[in-house]
Amino acid sequence: MARAPSTVDTEALPEADRLDDFPHPRETRSLIGQDLAQTALADALSGGRMHHAWLLAGPKGVGKATLAYQFARMALARPEERDLFGQGLSIEPDSPTDRQVRALSHPAMLVIRRTYDPKTKRFSQNIPVDEVRRLKSFLALSAEAQGWRVVIVDSADDMNANAANALLKSLEEPPPRTIFLVLTAAPGRLLPTIRSRCRVVALAPLLEQDLKRAAAQALTGAGKAVPEAQVWDPLLPLAEGSVGRALTLLGGGGIALQARIDAILGSLPKLDLKAVHALADELQPIAQERKFELFFDLYQSALARLITIQATGEGPERDVALAGRLIGSDRLATFAELWETTARDKAETTALNLDRKSLILGSFARLEAASRR
């Protein structure tokens, strides 16, 4: 079988899909709030109706990767490691298969994701074609008798065009006893030919109680305190049903950061330059990269929320008033274009390592101009 990374290698290198010091999805024992998705995969595996490719689709942080690794454990487990009388995707904890999946050392599992360069100490901006080409050697080897092989692509949204085409070739001519789990937060942006070869399993944003339980599980696993009840009131709307987003908000001071964004938006159409410069100065250093990413996530979400409210007329009274003042009845297209421009500029700044302060100042300046028209 193809050589998997050693446990030492896995532990030594950072992982793009690991959130700070929280347990990685493959280390998470229980997937909360996605019963329908778990049942769909479990029934297909146990019922002998296993399709060769599955598209696990849903927003970031709702459990797609956790589900993928749970399924991989069940598919790769030996008969004695499974609960023959139970249901779902659980296998014996700390069994050989469980340990191998957690260590990324199972010879019948291949994970395709963004790579880390120890020299530059940076992750690749996308999944390069060479990463997908590892499939060729992995699939060329024979699976164990009656055994499965599992390929996890996390996530397909990160693939460049060449990588996507390389994956498509494997999906078009899948070898026997091989299952592809393709994760995506934006299925509409994937190649239609990739989507057409996959069965879709949709994962929805978590309900409030499930979100709290999942966040508490992750916090406890990381040895962190679970927040008091009053913290959840401002946090839940910002988390948008994503446990990953909730954990990022808690660890990155997201509630306070959102309050600063709201204050700047509230000052428009006359921009509070002092507040904007203070924020830009704070987020400029490389050491503040995670907070910088969180800021743009919150900023773009705030813009999207105001655009949606103005288009539908539905939302909290305060936001309805703000959207009416900034966007009005004739500037929806302008603000939609502003959202897209900001997203492109942010992606370019990240890819080319451009000046972050200039990006923040320029984004707010364009917002001020749009709100004054």
**pLDDT for the residue numbered 252:** 85
Regions of the chain where pLDDT drops below 50: 1-11
Spatial separation of the C-alpha atoms in residues 261 and 210, rounded to whole Å: 28
Q: Are 77 and 91 in contact (CB under 8 A)?
A: yes
SS3 call for 222: coil
Whether 22 and 158 share a structural domain: yes
Closest CA relative to residue 217, chosen from 189, 244, 181, 183: 244
Whether 191 and 276 share a structural domain: no
Domain count, the chain: 2
Domain's final residue, options 143, 167, 202: 202
- Can you give the C-alpha Rg of the chain in angstroms? 22
Spatial separation of the C-alpha atoms in residues 325 and 268, rounded to whole Å: 9
Whether 76 and 195 share a structural domain: yes
Q: Per the domain annotation, does 222 fall within a domain? A: no
**pLDDT for the residue numbered 20:** 83
Alpha-carbon 255 to chain mean position = 20
Please state, rounded to an integer, the average pLDDT across all residues of the chain: 91
Q: How many CB atoms lie within 10 A of CB 318?
A: 10
Phi/psi-derived region of residue 88, left when phi > 0, alpha when psi is between -120 and 50, beta in every other case: left
Spatial separation of the C-alpha atoms in residues 232 and 237, rounded to whole Å: 9
pTM (2 decimals)?
0.88
Q: Per the domain annotation, does 168 fall within a domain? A: yes
Show the tokens assigned to 373.
């028209």
Q: Per the domain annotation, does 285 fall within a domain? A: yes
Q: Per the domain annotation, does 215 fall within a domain? A: no
Closest CA relative to residue 155, chosen from 119, 121, 122, 131: 131
Whether 313 and 168 share a structural domain: no
**pLDDT for the residue numbered 49:** 82
Whether 34 and 183 share a structural domain: yes
Q: Per the domain annotation, does 152 fall within a domain? A: yes
Whether 183 and 273 share a structural domain: no
SS3 call for 239: helix
Q: Per the domain annotation, does 105 fall within a domain? A: yes
**Which CATH number fits the domain that encloses residue 77?**
3.40.50.300
| pLDDT tens-digit readout, 63-122 | 999 999 999 999 999 989 987 555 679 899 999 999 999 999 999 999 999 999 888 888
Whether 67 and 187 share a structural domain: yes
What angle (nearest 5°) sits at the alpha carbon of residue 367, between those of residues 361 and 372?
125
Q: Are 280 and 272 in contact (CB under 8 A)?
A: no
Whether 286 and 188 share a structural domain: no
Closest CA relative to residue 73, chosen from 50, 35, 42, 52: 42
Q: Per the domain annotation, does 348 fall within a domain? A: yes
Whether 170 and 41 share a structural domain: yes
**pLDDT for the residue numbered 145:** 61
Question: Helix 356-372 crosses helix 273-283 at what angle (to 10 degrees)?
Answer: 150
Residues found in the chain: 373
Whether 182 and 316 share a structural domain: no
**pLDDT for the residue numbered 84:** 59
Q: Per the domain annotation, does 33 fall within a domain? A: yes
Domain's final residue, options 187, 202, 217: 202
SS3 call for 368: helix
Closest CA relative to residue 295, chosen from 258, 251, 340, 263: 258
Whether 18 and 155 share a structural domain: yes
Whether 66 and 172 share a structural domain: yes
Residue range of the domain that includes 151:
7-202
